[in-house]
Chains A and B, each alone.
Chain A
Amino acid sequence: MTERRPRSFYVLACFFGLFLLFLYGPMISILVLSFQGPEGGLVFPMTGFSTHWFQRLWEGGGQVEIGSALRRSFALALVVMVLTVSFSVLAGLAFRRQFRGATLLLYVAIASLIVPSIVVSLGIALEFRLLDDAIKAFGASAGIDWITNDFVSALGPFTSGLGAHLTWTLPFGLLIMFAVFNRFDPAYEEAARDLGATPWQTFRHVTLPMIAPFLIGVAVFGFTLSWDELARSSQVMGADNTLPMQLAAKTTTVTDPEIYALGTATTGGSVLLVLVTFTLVSLMQRQRRKG
């Protein structure tokens, strides 16, 4: 059928196989170990097979207490996702035309990716601490009661935390929008306009359906980047913790496979999310081809 494969193909194919083993091996080991028997420990061998650790995780009260952190991370990731998609699309549209400061904005976005996360995290924490001081000073001088009595800090998951996550997700969103609009044929929009569509109609009925599959990609990207974010979160969540922070704090203290059960559960969730997304995208594309 095809020409014979050169020997280098088999060598490289082996290398690729080893790479996959390298990627999946550790994950498979915790997948297996999360079904460890009730007496089992953190390493092989398995002492029986059970869903004991999943039950412990579900009931709570074990070594890994995740309930509130999980809900907080989920809510934060949803907000980050929505903002990432809308801000990226808007900026993507802006970049299709010339505007002053376009290059600057692009460089700032790229800088936001490459400046070490700990520096960004520290910067936002400092900014909010200075803001706290300013608010407290203002409250004291203006005699506003609730500030002097109740105000603690402006730092929190949905203020500084949200901002920190956006500095991480927006550059990716913008770069994806570049890739999308670079390959976008404006003829469709022109046709719509020639047929008398208003700009909003053109966007709503022509541009948006065409870029929708990629927007789902941006959404999934935004969600998972925020859901897993740890380095930028480290200084900016105030008194609260996100799920990855909770997990990272547990790594040194946990001594039973409950943490593996959590790993398996969250990995399963992510894989499910990605599968659902891909199905959705391919369905949408099939439907568009039909229509």
Chain B
Amino acid sequence: MTDALDTASEARPGRASARRRGTGRAGAALAPYLQAAPMALVFLIFFVVPLAATIAVSFWQYTQYSIEPAFTAQNYGDVFYGCVANLPQLCTTFLTYLSTLKFCLSVWFTTLVIGFTIAYFLAFHVRTLKVQVICFLLCTIPFWTSIVIRMISWIPLLGRNGLVNQTLMSMGLIDAPLEGLLYSDFAVILALTHLYALFMVVPIFNSLMRIDPALIEAARDAGASGAQTLRFVIVPLARPGILIGSIFVVTVVMGDFLTIGIMGGQQIASVGKVIQTQMQFLQFPLAAANAVILLAAVLAGVWALLKLVDIRKEL
């Protein structure tokens, strides 16, 4: 490692010093490759090859206790079984994707509204850096807790005998406890928003802080109302942050099976959960086929968004 670093810091403007020490240009040119190698290897072994394995296995046959490398498209046929034939009735796969999509859009909407509002407040209304840092710390502290704990912590509030029901009953607004607070679509959306709102705040805040105040002043001087400035100046300039946050939230929710599982009381279907269940039953090729379809769905959405921003420039 020292070797790699040695040759590394040597290369750049210090070509002269490299020559001085007698290290050849070849060594200096090799340095960045050696430095990038550990990370590249990790991604190769634990990301690229596994994805390739998933795609390969999704075309394999399987029996109750083994998988066999013999080509078949049957797994995909099984996933979409009855999907076309039974139209307009939706098959299980379509229904599952529809349900996941519903969570995606709801959580995207809630986190975007909350994220933009909070980021706007922190960027334009909080005047000193110190207060901004304190506000940010306040927002991030809950993030350092286990997500399971953050999910469990809704139980005393939303449970059948939870605080919300107790309060509503004592106020006389309802006679019997509301059942749908916990273990429902509502609970899932609430918990996901709770978990991921911050991931929307940070990139949007980052974009907002880069806006030149002169642009906003210019808009005001030109007679724009507050709403017009927001609509035609600030939102377009915040677009990269909005996109990065959106990509993060949408992909996390698309593949989620834990929050939907725990907050849905293990009763709500999601694509991730289907895959997990099939893994438990050792139906690896079927799970792999589902994973490939999920991956394609997620990437298709992200690809379009990624085209619009260069993430590296935004940091």
Contact = CB atoms under 8 A, between A and B. Distances in A.
Interface of A: 2, 5, 8-9, 12-13, 15-16, 19-20, 22-27, 29-30, 33, 42-44, 86-88, 90-91, 93-99, 101-102, 105-106, 108-120, 122-127, 129-130, 160, 163-164, 166-167, 170, 174-175, 178-179, 182, 186, 189-190, 193, 198-200, 202-203, 207, 224, 227-228, 230-231, 234-235, 243-244, 247-248, 251-252, 259-260, 262-263, 266-267, 270-271, 273-274
Contacts of A25: 157
A24 B6 contact: no
B35 to A, nearest CB: 4
A13 B36 contact: no
A235 B194 contact: no
Contacts of A26: 150, 153-154, 156-157, 194
B135 A231 contact: no
Given A118-B257, A207-B9, A127 B50 contact: yes
Interface string B137-166: 011011011111111111111010111001
Contact of B166 (A44, A93, A200): A44
B172 interface: no
Contacts of A119: 51, 54, 255, 275, 291, 294-295
B255 A116 contact: yes
B36 A231 contact: no
A32 B306 CA distance: 44
Nearest to A179: B315
B204 interface: no
A260 B21 CA distance: 61
Given A23-B142, A178-B312, A203-B5, A99 B36 contact: yes
A200 B33 CA distance: 17
B157 A203 contact: no
- The 6 A-B pairs of least Cβ separation, nearest first, read A116-B255, A123-B50, A163-B46, A26-B153, A94-B35, A99-B32
B266 A90 contact: no
B135 A16 contact: yes
B155 A244 contact: no
B208 interface: no
Nearest to A116: B255
Contact of B258 (A106, A193, A231): A231
B174 interface: no
B288 A122 contact: yes
Contact of B156 (A30, A193, A243): A30
A126 B5 contact: no
Given A16-B118, A27-B142, A263-B152, A116 B54 contact: no
Contacts of B287: 122
A87 B38 CA distance: 6
B146 A95 contact: no
Given A30-B153, A178-B315, A126 B57 contact: yes
Interface string B48-73: 11110110010000000000000000
B43 A127 contact: no
B163 A224 contact: no
Given A29-B157, A43-B162, A123-B50, A15 B121 contact: yes
Contacts of A95: 32, 36
A116 B272 contact: yes
Contacts of A166: 42, 46
Contacts of B276: 118, 234-235
B238 interface: no
Most A-side CB within 10 Å, residue of B36, B256, B288: B36
Interface stretch (B10-18, B81-89, B216-224): B10-18
Contact of A118 (B150, B255, B312): B255
Nearest to B262: A251
Contacts of B232: none
Nearest to A171: B43
Nearest to B287: A122
Contact of B148 (A99, A224, A244, A271): A244
Which of B47, B125, B275, B311 has the most chain A CB within a 10 Å cutoff? Answer: B47
A44 B163 contact: yes
B260 to A, nearest CB: 11
B127 interface: yes
A230 B258 contact: yes
Chain B CB within 10 A, most for which of A94, A227, A262: A94
A44 B156 contact: yes
